[in-house]
Structure 1
Amino acid sequence: MVGIFGGNDSQTRTITLFSIDSSLLQGAFNAKLAQNAVARGVAPTAASSRGPDVIAPWDKPTGLLDLPDELGEHLSRNNLFAGTGEGLRSDLTKTQENLFRMWKGMKKMQALAAFAAEDKRADLVRGQLQKQFERYESEIFDFVGKAQLSGVKLIAGPLETKAETDARIPRSSSEYEGRRLMGSVGDAVPGLDTNTRFNINVTKSDGSVFDIAIDLADIGASKTLGNISEHINTQLEAAGVTTRFFTYGDGEGKFGLKVTRSILEEVVLTPVDGDAAVYVAGTSGNGEFAKGSVRKFTDLDGTMTQAFDAKTEVEDGVSRIAASALGPNGELFVLGTTSGDIGGQVVGGEKDVFLTRYDAAGNEVWRRLVGSTDTAEGYGLAVSDDGSVAISGRANKPLTEASPDNGINSFVTLYDSGGEAQWTRHTGPQAVDAAFAVDFDADGNVVVAGASAGALSGQTHQGGQDAYLQRLSAGNGSVLDQIQFGDAGSETASAVRVADGLAYVAVNDDGQGVVNVYDVNDLAAGPTQTITVGGAGETTRISAIEVDGAGKIFVAGDTTDSTFTGAGTDGRLTHSGGADGFVARLDEASGTMDFGAYLGTAEADRIRGLAIASTGEIYVTGETEGNLDGNNLVGSRDGFISRMDANGAPQTTKTYSGINGRVDSNAIVIDEKGDSALTRLGLGHGNIGDIGSLTVTSTSAVRPGMSFSMAVDDGPLRRIDIEADDSIRWVAFQMNRVLGRDGLVEVKREGDHEYLRVNARSDSKISLRGGSEGFDALPGLGLKETDIFGPKMKERDDVFALGFGKFVNLLDFEAAADARDHMGFALKQIEKAFDSLTASNEDPLARRRREALLERPPAQIQKQIANFEAALARLSG
């Protein structure tokens, strides 16, 4: 209609390709005005029918604001709609007034988005622009919610008829799929010449147990996937169990084995023969390309073969792995930090901590998120003999309702063997602190090592940054014992191991490495032994610590000190200059160094992870920026794994590169039977049906105590609390109790996962609103605050949705362009709502005449337009 289509098109982008005389443009513009004038003379428009002085703001030929001149105003705290009521007639209806004001305010928003999309100066204040844009969006929702409108219905958000959770909750399955390692089911599986035996233990629901021994040597030379599955199934059938092995492919030319079992049968796979394997965990790539990485190495006595490199893939973010640990049945656990959604689990804040369990073949079993609503990072990881898992790190916001909001504080979480959180404890003053390492004592209590810039409860801050050591109760995480120590400088407890009633703590103290030994049941009494590593005036950092149970302590890290005891003898290497990686063996009784062994180049080198094999061999991992031990540097910083004999002499060193030539190798563990017939077949060890707890709080970023609210047709909000044992179906049941007949929450399936779909019925409105700050369950479920409308709402001509809801932003030029275009759409919705108020009252015959003339103006006007178009064509030709 006139006034909308005749004014500025708020979605139009202008690109200048050549110079045009201004008088020519003015003439074309005047012709357009003449065309509009003819239309106005035929029939009154929505604007003119309200009187000659009532002109809708979009009928005025005004362009975008000159934002650079208005930037100060836009970055002020003024309300979006401040001043938008100035100049309006006093006889306007309330609906007309509110629509006018909304349009004017949103025009400011469009100018803001256009500046962010088109002006390079926006990069200087982009963060401030984004905050202002978010505030404007919030003010739109407030204005629309409070505006008095008659004859039209405005919706600030999108007109959605359903909402679905982005979080995907795993469901139990009777199938277990191994890694797909072969190019054909008819190819012989390599590596099955010596390690050929494993056991299948089947326990039925009635308690009967079946032990089936498998020896692949019985097959003969042709050990293909097809022959192997047939051989195993023959044994299973003879035993009278229903579990079966099958071959399967992925559609990309890769094949493996899968196991299908009855839900009445528990199946455990156990290797009889096996060789040692090593897992190295860290990060491949850096910056926006960083991905958590788990590499498995076999053939340790030979050239070291990389069996796999499992990346932690995330959506719109990066992941990093800081620690790893081995479970009692050969499970591999890794701890890391992610800034993006990961495997169907939605990150509710900026960064969250993830704990992932893999089986021995590298198949992911389950993953847990701590559930940070702001920023959290994971550092320490330990697994007890019963399969309990302790993790540690730091979080910017409390992870439990009982914890005070003291800023960046340490946290420790204990999980049971199924990955269900038992407790989370924050330990920290109103100062920055972090928990860098954890271990278990013999009673299952958690021993924590970290650093703090303030005094822990009951402790004294020595100045600068102090180290601390705590023992937390296995039952509830309460502090059983603790000690804080340091001086005016900087001390950090970086690693801890507990053995035989003693806690061994690695401390970095102002450039020197120190090992303190404590009675684990009396930490407050202070260390029983202190050993210094590295000389004064040098820089020595300890990253890892292990003990052998025979009075020897092993530490590893990096140092500039070239004078370690025993270097250069018994096959050990000398210092190569700069910072070299090192391993040192310390004698607990005497408090002295038995030997120090270097591993490095003339460039920067560091050892981060350390493991001691049952043979006494030493395995280390880290990074190098040079040609290390006969290996040429591939990227800018390569990772490495090195096997040393019990005296620290290198036997084999293997380097590897990563994404964009960058690797961080942070942790290493040894599985003495990690290379078995099962893993060669792509199968793990242990209970193949154990996928851990399936509660919402275990399988998503939602924590116990979080909540959200729902309302129907602007009625009162009703709160839904998430408890520790809630399943996804129970959450759906609670939501349906609120909705009654006005909506339906369904549990939908997607492969081996489930999610929720919220539907409104008829013309009902369902509102989803978040919980309290820091304890809002919606982000972890992958939902946003929104309104959901019944399908009949879409059929109404008087309903107009503006489509806001934090779907667009100004964080870069491309995103800002989308925001600018969205503002054009939203402005058009206001214009359509305005015009719809009188469209139903317009005489149909008059409307048809006006529309016909709009399509074909009088001959004189057509000729004038044609002349200007021809002139423009000549200029552009």
Structure 2
Amino acid sequence: MGVLGTVGCTGEEDPQEPAGTCQAAWQHDYQGGTSSADEALSVWAGSSGAVYVAGYERGNLGQTNIEPSGDSRAVVLRFLPNGTLDRTEVTDTGGTDVAEHIVGSETQELLTVVGRTTGALENATNRGQFDLFVTQLDGKGNKQRTVQQGDARPQHPMKVAVHPNGSVFVAGFDDMFVQGRVVLDSENGFVTRINREGNGFASGAAWKFASTVESNPDRLTGFVASPSADALYSSGFKFFADSEGPGGAYVRRIDPANGNLLWTSVIAPVATEADELLLTPDNHLFLAGSSQMPLEPGVPVVGEVDVFLALLNPSDGQVQWIRTVGTQGSELATALARAPNGDIYVAGSTLGSFPGFTHQGGKDLFVLRFSADGRLRGTWQRGTAGNDQATALWVDPCGRVFLAGYTEGALVPGSQNQGSRDMFLLKVDVPQPQSPPL
């Protein structure tokens, strides 16, 4: 195998514990940053044991309605199987650059990164405020192809998926559109397809599905494609019903051939966010989110906002079962991943305390471990006196659970916070719960 898939991790499944063993033990977690703001926004790991983190560094916060601002740099960090930082790939246009999501393909030996920029990448022209970009790297970090697309609105891509034929799907939303201190439109969710053309990408989109109703925020945050890319699913929240469809927390299925909307399933009409989607190899569609509503039959909301995990029918989006978990505080789900043995992990932030843990101040990190049928099998919580935000979660073929995000404190022992926010990468072991969450 190539650089992305050298021997280092096996996928032998164990029905009780995360699958596989690694040749190199994880020796230390990572916290790093600059004197400005730095955030890890995505994480991916393959069978080689190497771990890749995408995000940004050197950004400014609190100066504009869309963050970060300033001369931030989009970065991809590669960690060795033992946790040592190996190298950092940088995209720096002179504008604001952010890497939002990274996925890997061991068969194609490619890393695909989607991000946004206020500048212009090589041989490209910026079309407005933030343009989206897609860059593909080989396992050594060499850029293979890049495309930049946009219009007058500020694009905020959240997810990328790769078609077996090399095309890519990008999902996210247009941020609030402001010109001259005048708000012209709210967020508009979108999914777009960019085809391969020769050795590169086509300069324009093959199709784009997008919300166009003004002043009705449609914040799309979840997206997943089937392995063959014959099915696309997106999730998010729309404030109210309009001419395009129902409001509330939704899951949509989109035709990958032409971008047509096939169906919309409403999870809850109000006070609920459908945040993250996951499609398993055996075609089970999972949704993680947060709600102030009692979504699980017979189970009241524990705190102000609880997290939920739901299994949906991939054919029509109907809920098969739903599980809610919470503390006396509030929880927000921000990441979702599957282990080789089928366990499902949900990560996010909490203002409360899960059993066996004590809230440290501000937002704490949490990871919940569920069986494939929705039974809670483990809880984990960690934090500092400041805000700690989980943004990404991945379980590698060895069953190692990796959590990425940013911290305002000293999250990793032996580290000191370098600026307003530091990025982090943690290997997380999720213990069995001591009792039902309070």
Does residue 201 of structure 2 align to residue 477 of structure 1?
Answer: yes
Q: For residues 550-576 of structure 1, what are the alpha-carbon distances to aligned partners after superposition, in whole Å with 9 as ceiling and x for unaligned?
A: 4431111211121x24464xxxxx521
Partner of 1:366: 87
Match among 334, 352, 362 for residue 73 of structure 2 = 352
Distance in 1, matches of 2:252 and 2:141, equals 32
Shift of 1:655: 0.8
Distance in 2, matches of 1:423 and 1:440, equals 14
Match among 228, 249, 252 for residue 516 of structure 1 = 252
Shift of 1:624: 0.8
Shift of 1:354: 0.6
Q: Give 1:301-340 correspondences, 5 Å limit.
A: 308-314=28-34, 316-339=35-58
Q: Give 1:59-138 correspondences, 5 Å limit.
A: none
Q: For residues 634-678 of structure 1, what are the alpha-carbon distances to aligned partners after superposition, in whole Å with 9 as ceiling and x for unaligned?
A: 2332111221112222111011124x4431111111123256xxx
Shift of 1:521: 2.4
Q: For residues 178-222 of structure 1, what are the alpha-carbon distances to aligned partners after superposition, in whole Å with 9 as ceiling and x for unaligned?
A: xxxxxxxxxxxxxxxxxxxxxxx9x9xxxxxxxxxxxxxxxxxxx
Q: 1:454–1:556: structure 2 CA closer, same or farther, 3 Å change rule? A: closer
Match among 379, 383, 393 for residue 100 of structure 2 = 379
Distance in 2, matches of 1:668 and 1:453, equals 24
Q: For residues 2-59 of structure 1, what are the alpha-carbon distances to aligned partners after superposition, in whole Å with 9 as ceiling and x for unaligned?
A: xxxxxxxxxxxxxxxxxxxxxxxxxxxxxxxxxxxxxxxxxxxxxxxxxxxxxxxxxx
Partner of 2:338: 612
Unaligned 5+ segments in structure 2 are 60-69, 178-183, 240-246, 401-438
Partner of 1:640: 366
Unaligned 5+ segments in structure 1 are 1-200, 204-266, 277-296, 341-348, 456-461, 569-573, 676-877
2:320 maps to amino acid: D
Partner of 2:392: 667
The higher-RCO structure (CA 8 Å, 6+ apart) is: 1
Distance in 2, matches of 1:406 and 1:614, equals 42
What number of residue pairs does the alignment pair up?
361
Whose radius of gyration is greater, 1 or 2? Answer: 1
Distance in 1, matches of 2:372 and 2:37, equals 38
Distance in 2, matches of 1:635 and 1:454, equals 31
SS at match of 2:397: strand
Shift of 1:298: 8.3
Distance in 1, matches of 2:85 and 2:13, equals 22
Q: 1:273–1:592: structure 2 CA closer, same or farther, 3 Å change rule? A: closer
1:309 maps to amino acid: D
Partner of 2:404: none
Match among 212, 224, 246 for residue 497 of structure 1 = 224
Partner of 1:575: 301
SS at match of 1:400: coil
Distance in 2, matches of 1:530 and 1:451, equals 17
Is the CA contact (8 Å cut-off) linking 1:607 and 1:622 kept in structure 2?
A: yes
Distance in 1, matches of 2:125 and 2:90, equals 19
Q: TM-score, normalised by structure 1?
A: 0.38
Partner of 1:853: none
Is the CA contact (8 Å cut-off) linking 1:351 and 1:372 kept in structure 2?
A: no
Q: Give 1:355-434 correspondences, 5 Å limit.
A: 355-385=76-106, 386-434=108-156
Match among 155, 158, 182 for residue 436 of structure 1 = 158
Partner of 2:412: none
Distance in 2, matches of 1:590 and 1:272, equals 35
Distance in 2, matches of 1:575 and 1:496, equals 27
Match among 315, 324, 327 for residue 589 of structure 1 = 315
Q: For residues 252-308 of structure 1, what are the alpha-carbon distances to aligned partners after superposition, in whole Å with 9 as ceiling and x for unaligned?
A: xxxxxxxxxxxxxxx9653569788xxxxxxxxxxxxxxxxxxxx9899xxxx9963
SS at match of 2:74: strand
Is the CA contact (8 Å cut-off) linking 2:10 and 2:47 kept in structure 1?
A: no
Shift of 1:400: 3.0
Partner of 1:126: none
SS at match of 1:339: strand
Q: For residues 462-513 of structure 1, what are the alpha-carbon distances to aligned partners after superposition, in whole Å with 9 as ceiling and x for unaligned?
A: 9643211111124422223322234331113212211131111123222722
Is the CA contact (8 Å cut-off) linking 1:298 and 1:306 kept in structure 2?
A: no
Is the CA contact (8 Å cut-off) linking 1:565 and 1:593 kept in structure 2?
A: no
Partner of 1:764: none
Is the CA contact (8 Å cut-off) linking 2:135 and 2:147 kept in structure 1?
A: yes
Distance in 1, matches of 2:7 and 2:160, equals 30
Q: 1:333–1:646: structure 2 CA closer, same or farther, 3 Å change rule? A: same
Distance in 2, matches of 1:603 and 1:453, equals 29
Partner of 1:628: 354
Is the CA contact (8 Å cut-off) linking 1:355 and 1:368 kept in structure 2?
A: yes
Q: Which has the higher helix share?
A: 1
Partner of 1:100: none
1:597 maps to amino acid: R
2:219 maps to amino acid: T
Does residue 292 of structure 2 align to residue 554 of structure 1?
Answer: no
Is the CA contact (8 Å cut-off) linking 1:377 and 1:394 kept in structure 2?
A: yes
Partner of 2:262: 528
2:262 maps to amino acid: T
Q: For residues 782-806 of structure 1, what are the alpha-carbon distances to aligned partners after superposition, in whole Å with 9 as ceiling and x for unaligned?
A: xxxxxxxxxxxxxxxxxxxxxxxxx
1:365 maps to amino acid: D
Distance in 1, matches of 2:125 and 2:309, equals 40
Is the CA contact (8 Å cut-off) linking 2:101 and 2:115 kept in structure 1?
A: yes
Distance in 2, matches of 1:585 and 1:632, equals 30
Distance in 2, matches of 1:504 and 1:405, equals 28
Q: For residues 311-365 of structure 1, what are the alpha-carbon distances to aligned partners after superposition, in whole Å with 9 as ceiling and x for unaligned?
A: 1243x3332111112235332211111007xxxxxxxx62111111223221223
Distance in 2, matches of 1:450 and 1:491, equals 10
Distance in 1, matches of 2:292 and 2:10, equals 45
Distance in 2, matches of 1:588 and 1:414, equals 29
Is the CA contact (8 Å cut-off) linking 1:275 and 1:674 kept in structure 2?
A: no
Does residue 339 of structure 2 align to residue 603 of structure 1?
Answer: no
Distance in 1, matches of 2:376 and 2:27, equals 22
Shift of 1:412: 2.1
Distance in 1, matches of 2:388 and 2:138, equals 32
Shift of 1:616: 2.4
Is the CA contact (8 Å cut-off) linking 1:377 and 1:393 kept in structure 2?
A: yes
Is the CA contact (8 Å cut-off) linking 2:126 and 2:150 kept in structure 1?
A: no
Distance in 2, matches of 1:584 and 1:656, equals 25
Q: 1:654–1:454: structure 2 CA closer, same or farther, 3 Å change rule? A: closer
Distance in 2, matches of 1:354 and 1:411, equals 13
1:598 maps to amino acid: T
Q: 1:654–1:453: structure 2 CA closer, same or farther, 3 Å change rule? A: closer
Distance in 2, matches of 1:616 and 1:594, equals 17
Q: TM-score, normalised by structure 2?
A: 0.74
Is the CA contact (8 Å cut-off) linking 2:221 and 2:275 kept in structure 1?
A: yes
Match among 253, 272, 283 for residue 540 of structure 1 = 272
Distance in 2, matches of 1:271 and 1:549, equals 19
Percentage of identical aligned residues: 19
Is the CA contact (8 Å cut-off) linking 1:610 and 1:621 kept in structure 2?
A: yes
1:649 maps to amino acid: R
Q: 1:464–1:273: structure 2 CA closer, same or farther, 3 Å change rule? A: closer
Distance in 2, matches of 1:669 and 1:354, equals 18
Does residue 2 of structure 2 align to residue 270 of structure 1?
Answer: no
Is the CA contact (8 Å cut-off) linking 1:353 and 1:370 kept in structure 2?
A: yes
Q: 1:417–1:372: structure 2 CA closer, same or farther, 3 Å change rule? A: same
Does residue 187 of structure 2 align to residue 465 of structure 1?
Answer: yes
